[in-house]
Structures are given as structure tokens and as C-alpha cells.
Amino acid sequence: MNKEIDITTFPEGWNEVLKTLTFLPDDEARNEFLATLVLFLAQM
């Protein structure tokens, strides 16, 4: 069984999270969405 990846690493953790954004069509959209969400989480 794979060791759980630390999602707070970059780019490994970031990429793991991108994979979960299946409701978006491609990598560009996923990266954009995640960057928006990250900024939101930082500001709220």
C-alpha cells in the first residue's frame, strides 16, 4: 500500500489534489480552480 502523500508538498501534493477535481474538464481548468480555492482559503 502506498504511503499517504503529504498533500501540502509542491508539486507532489498539489498534483494529488488536482486529480480529485474530476468535475473540471482539463488540467488548465483544474490548476486555475485550485489556485482560486487556495487564495480563498488563505483570505477567509
Q: Give, in degrees to the nearest 5, the angle at Cα 9 between 18 and 28.
A: 25
CA distance 30 to 18: 6
Query: Is 24 a binder of other proteins (CB under 8 A)?
Result: no
User: How far from the centroid of its chain's Cα atoms is residue 29's Cα?
Assistant: 11
Q: Give, in degrees to the nearest 5, the angle at Cα 41 between 40 and 44.
A: 80
Considering only residues 1, 2, 3, 4, which one is a binding residue for other proteins as defined by CB under 8 A?
4
Query: Is 43 a binder of other proteins (CB under 8 A)?
Result: yes
Q: How far is the CB of 15 from other proteins (least distance, A)?
A: 11
Query: Is 13 a binder of other proteins (CB under 8 A)?
Result: yes
Binding site for other proteins (CB under 8 A): 4-10, 13-14, 16-17, 20-21, 23, 35, 37-44
